[in-house]
Structure 1
């Protein structure tokens, strides 16, 4: 005789639970793999940030630059700032930001015109909203040839939480060298920005060295959560099966 629906139900429950258990364990294992990747990334960034500055990559290498191999590399370049084409990128510095300046303000991005290569946009650092006018920080508008050292940064990725840039009106919320160069008519500019080191602007503004190096790393927490859910699932299934078995035993006892 075919098994009754009640008899098939525990088998179906176990099969579904096994599938769900496999998914949960797989998610936990994936998070552990992400943890290893994130720790390796942090180690690479730490080594790059504190390494000796190298010359900026030559234009021939620009198409091959990647976040994995080049982001946060310490670089240097020589040239003179084209302050007439300075661009402001809106930002907010939280309480965890380096340096004393907090709150709303702008990142000052200025083309570095080089004699030995195409121009490079330099994020010279942060200025508060009340110092956005270059005239209010004239001491920092350095003239003549300078050597810039800082971190190589590729374009910021778009985010739902950051408004889109409006190059036509020179309104920027995201560091995108292509947008900025096009809006300011900086032909042939590098596809990256140099985040200038701290202390390189006379008078203290713009305040460089504010590159955010905090990377969220909650992968271990997520892995433990998934593994915990898998363990809880096993406990629930065992409890359900035990309850059904006990119920059948009581039923048989009552009938006897």
Structure 2
């Protein structure tokens, strides 16, 4: 009898812990979906002027529109697009009509393509402010000599071009730039694995429950 009680206590405790972990992940899933919905609504809102002193946290994803001219120079940032493979994001300095120098992520080209010159004359860039966090311990160092970069580090890019540390990721250019495809801000790269975690915990609950029932059956057979 003691062994049966011990197995029951262990089984119930394990099931309770695993169910609580799965439930917590379901709650986290609802929270994350709410956060993503807020970000998507913010991304799609009507554009405003670039703030005088944008904050990397408070103004992340802020939709903006700015008119001016592209300055000389560009960098190529290696990216991988789902379904399309490798390409380069093209980032150029931009001189706004207000006199400010900003960074503009014009969009993406194929790896094999030559980088096209930026559109001449007055251009209106509509897009979103962003300060991407793309560098980690596995990111290679930028190859400045080959003009191949591996992360959009806004402060580093700003120092390279002598601009403000402000990056506008273009959603559209007016007039449009035919040779570069805009790759606008989205929530696609924001991880949301809580459903997978919840399924994992609830699956482990089922396994734990099955093992407990099997153990009780074995104990009972030995005592009969």
TM-score bin (small chain): 0.7 to 0.9
Q: Distance in 1 between matches of 2:10 and 2:145?
A: 56
Deviates more, 1:219-228 or 1:16-25: 16-25
Matched, 1:104 2:80: no
Contact 2:123-2:174 within 8 A present in 1 as well? no
Equivalent residue, structure 1, for 2:52: 58
Deviation at 1:237, TM superposition (A): 1.1
Normalised to the residue count of structure 2, the TM-score between the two structures is 0.82
Matches within 5 A, 1:52-201: 52-59=46-53, 61-62=54-55, 65-66=56-57, 70-82=59-71, 84-95=72-83, 102-116=84-98, 118-133=100-115, 137-138=116-117, 141-159=118-136, 162-166=139-143, 170-182=147-159, 184-187=160-163, 189-190=164-165, 192-198=166-172, 200=174
**Aligned CA-pair RMSD:** 2.8
Label 1:234 to 1:167 Cα distance change in 2 as closer, same or farther (>3 A): same
* Structure 1: 4+ residue segments shifted above 6 A: none
Deviation at 1:212, TM superposition (A): 4.7
1:55-96: CA deviations, max 9, x gaps?
22221x42xx32xx54332111233211x221111123232x
Matched, 1:33 2:8: no
Label 1:19 to 1:92 Cα distance change in 2 as closer, same or farther (>3 A): same
Q: Distance in 2 between matches of 1:124 and 1:218?
A: 30
Deviates more, 1:173-182 or 1:227-236: 227-236
Residue correspondences, number: 223
Q: Distance in 1 between matches of 2:219 and 2:11?
A: 16
Label 1:55 to 1:203 Cα distance change in 2 as closer, same or farther (>3 A): closer
Label 1:146 to 1:176 Cα distance change in 2 as closer, same or farther (>3 A): same
Aligned to 1:174, the other structure's residue is in SS state coil
Aligned to 1:105, the other structure's residue is in SS state strand
Contact 2:70-2:95 within 8 A present in 1 as well? yes
Higher RCO, 1 or 2 (CA under 8 Å, sep at least 6)? 2
Aligned to 2:121, the other structure's residue is in SS state coil
Equivalent residue, structure 1, for 2:41: 47
Q: Specify which structure has the higher proportion of strand.
A: 2
Label 1:170 to 1:232 Cα distance change in 2 as closer, same or farther (>3 A): same
Unmatched tracts of structure 2, length 5 or more: none
Equivalent residue, structure 1, for 2:214: 239
Unmatched tracts of structure 1, length 5 or more: 1-6, 96-101, 250-256
Deviation at 1:226, TM superposition (A): 0.9
Deviation at 1:47, TM superposition (A): 1.1
Tell me which structure has the larger Cα radius of gyration.
1
Equivalent residue, structure 2, for 1:4: none
Q: Specify which structure has the higher proportion of helix.
A: 1
Label 1:29 to 1:195 Cα distance change in 2 as closer, same or farther (>3 A): same
Normalised to the residue count of structure 1, the TM-score between the two structures is 0.73
